[in-house]
A and B are shown apart, each in its own frame.
Chain A
Amino acid sequence: MATHQIKLTVNGTAREAQVESRLLLVHLLREEFRLTGTHIGCDTTHCGACTVLLDGQPVKSCTVLAVQADGRKLMTVEGLEKEGKLHPLQEGFTEKHGLQCGYCTPGMLMTGCALLERNRNPSEQDIREAISGNLCRCTGYVNIVKAVQYAAERMR
């Protein structure tokens, strides 16, 4: 079966890989690039733990082929911190106790990041809608919403 030489940008760095057609994007990130911040949760397009930004848009990386990311820009949770400084969302999740077990957190952060890039003043409803494809079984979402609001305020 065919393999493909792909080139993509991951968190601002140009990367290349030789991938099998069927390789999923989440496996490329975790196993080839060793970016294990992106989690595999349900592996069935439901939970959003594997959310990454593909050309700035949050997508479920368990449901994208690695080869489909050829030529594209990716951002993973590892790309949030800049020069040792946490992203306001990461601070928000810490300050507002936006996580307990932490499994959903990388996906929540990426979805939150995309939301705040297009809307610095989201309503609670906007936040809840944006994260409706990211499941959390610990927090009941209340503190996640607060964490995103905290970050929004910091970024305005």
Chain B
Amino acid sequence: MIPSAFDYHAPATIPEAVALLKEYGDTAKVLSGGQSLLPMLKLRLGQAEHLVDIGRIPGLEYVKEEGGMLRIGGCTRESVLEASELVRTRYPILLDTAKVIADPLVRNRATVGGNLAHGDPGNDHPATMLALGAQVVAVGPKGERVIPVDQFFLGLFTTALQPDEILTEIRIPIPPRHSGGAYFKLERKVGDYATAAAAAQVTLSTSGVVEHCGIGLTNAGPTPIKATAAEAHLRGKKPDAATLGEAARIASQAASPSADRRGTVEYKREMARVMAVRALKKAVERAGGN
């Protein structure tokens, strides 16, 4: 399949890229790893007259801790995130997430920024970033702004990014001691979107109660879902099996999936509950609880 004709631009700097986006407005699309955009253009589900490739801009691929934050460059490939020692030792929730995205070949091209900026509720990073309380850095003609990720996903394929803004960095507050997180995904086969998936991040107090928690759901509605009622239910409680089970049940009530070949609404909501239980249990275990 051949996409409709477009002009490809390869700016060398972020200001150049922003200038191109400003010039071409909503006839332009940002090309990062291209693993979602190019298939959409090929299938002609999407159209663009101009592709602005940010993949050749140096300095957008990194994973580092700095200033109390884990900082992930917008163009960081999933395979780089997966291989990062920092991620492997300190952020297993990110490893859980990266390794179930598409397949290893796609992950050699796909980027973390692209996974978020695409605004697809079936993508895996959004739920994890919601659970982690991440922030997204956007650079546009007026400079840089920081968007909390829970205000980032506005609708199906729609984010808070303006057409002339580029997602340059993801910031995750470095979790305090006694924190842990996990991502569980049910997929029919490698490379599929989630039938249901859940991310959970918890911080336990010294007395072993849940001080902080974040829960995100993938492919459970038109946008990634932050299960706030379930988070509130957990806070201040001992994370025993019954409490985690009840939180997962409440989380699954926040899901409003659509029926498709992956299952009925009822099945998907039930699987969201199961994934949430597993993610919560693993998160608590990684936080050093039971």
Say whether A46 contacts B191, CB under 8 Å.
Answer: yes
Interface residue count on the A side (C-beta < 8 Å): 32
Say whether B104 contacts A133, CB under 8 Å.
Answer: yes
In the complex, the chain A residue whose C-beta lies closest to that of B7 is: A2
The residue from B5, B7, B35, B104 contacting A45, defined by CB atoms under 8 A apart: B35
In the complex, the chain A residue whose C-beta lies closest to that of B190 is: A132
Residues facing B in A106-137 (CB within 8 A) are 111, 129-130, 132-134
B173 CB-CB contact with A under 8 Å: no
A1–B31 Cα distance when bound, in Å, is: 17
B51 CB-CB contact with A under 8 Å: yes
State which of B36-44, B59-67, B123-131, B265-273 sits at the interface with chain A.
B36-44
The residue from B8, B53, B105 contacting A133, defined by CB atoms under 8 A apart: B105
A54–B79 Cα distance when bound, in Å, is: 14
- Closest-CB distance, B106 to chain A (whole angstroms): 6
Say whether A133 contacts B39, CB under 8 Å.
Answer: no
Per-residue CB contact flags for chain A residues 63-100 toward chain B (1 = under 8 Å, else 0) read 11101101000000000000000000000000000000
The residue from B2, B3, B104 contacting A130, defined by CB atoms under 8 A apart: B104
A residues near B41, Cβ cutoff 8 Å: 22
The residue from B2, B8, B103 contacting A132, defined by CB atoms under 8 A apart: B103
B residues near A133, Cβ cutoff 8 Å: 102-106, 190-191
B109 CB-CB contact with A under 8 Å: yes
- Closest-CB distance, B9 to chain A (whole angstroms): 8
Residues facing B in A1-57 (CB within 8 A) are 1-2, 4, 20-22, 24, 27, 43-46, 48, 51, 54, 57
In the complex, the chain B residue whose C-beta lies closest to that of A70 is: B10
A15–B202 Cα distance when bound, in Å, is: 53
Per-residue CB contact flags for chain B residues 139-172 toward chain A (1 = under 8 Å, else 0) read 0000000000000000000000000000000000
Say whether A68 contacts B102, CB under 8 Å.
Answer: no
Residues facing A in B178-207 (CB within 8 A) are 190-191
A2–B50 Cα distance when bound, in Å, is: 10
Interface of A is mostly: mixed
B residues near A21, Cβ cutoff 8 Å: 5-8, 51
Say whether B42 contacts A51, CB under 8 Å.
Answer: no
A59 CB-CB contact with B under 8 Å: yes
In the complex, the chain B residue whose C-beta lies closest to that of A19 is: B8
B239 CB-CB contact with A under 8 Å: no
Say whether B7 contacts A134, CB under 8 Å.
Answer: no
A92–B104 Cα distance when bound, in Å, is: 22
The residue from A43, A64, A130 contacting B34, defined by CB atoms under 8 A apart: A64
Say whether B105 contacts A59, CB under 8 Å.
Answer: yes
A59–B110 Cα distance when bound, in Å, is: 10
- Closest-CB distance, B84 to chain A (whole angstroms): 15
The residue from A44, A45, A59, A129 contacting B108, defined by CB atoms under 8 A apart: A59
**Chain B residues with a Cβ under 8 A of chain A:** 1-8, 10, 31, 34-35, 38-39, 41-43, 51, 53, 55, 79, 102-106, 108-109, 190-191
**Chain A residues with a Cβ under 8 A of chain B:** 1-2, 4, 20-22, 24, 27, 43-46, 48, 51, 54, 57-60, 62-65, 67-68, 70, 111, 129-130, 132-134
5 contacts between A and B (CB under 8 A): A54-B108, A59-B108, A60-B109, A63-B34, A133-B105
